Structure 1
């Protein structure tokens, strides 16, 4: 079984901004140390390719008063 890198979209990202949008939430089955806070999707794909891991996007829970994203 290959490892997995779990990531989610950052909370405070403005549409059209050119800042990295994703954060790594957890890593399973891969010996990987992460030093950066924010990543672009292309960077996450490079990490996954180099380590042989699968990328898993975490979906938001919607919160108390927020509608679920489908």
Structure 2
């Protein structure tokens, strides 16, 4: 089983808000009912379910999904 997560844009180190967003889960019967999750919570989920955590990378420009001006 794999849990795919990405780092939130507005979250930074030292913030008191969860830093990761779950993008998807594959292989298994795990349901995650939160929008944002902390790294320690992810590690606990992975430990108890035997899942691998996959950290997705961003392009650094924030251009994904934006429409080009016509």
Q: TM-score, normalised by structure 1?
A: 0.78
* Number of residue pairs the alignment of both structures matches: 62
Q: Find out whether 1:60 has 2:37 as its counterpart.
A: no
Write out per-residue CA displacement over residues 2-30 of structure 1, whole angstroms, 9 at most, x where no aligned residue: x1001010111144211110011111102
The Cα RMSD (Å) is 1.3
Bigger strand share = 2
Q: TM-score, normalised by structure 2?
A: 0.78
Gaps of 5+ in 1: 65-70
Larger gyration radius, structure 1 or structure 2:
2
Gaps of 5+ in 2: 64-70
Q: Distance in 2 between matches of 1:12 and 1:36?
A: 17
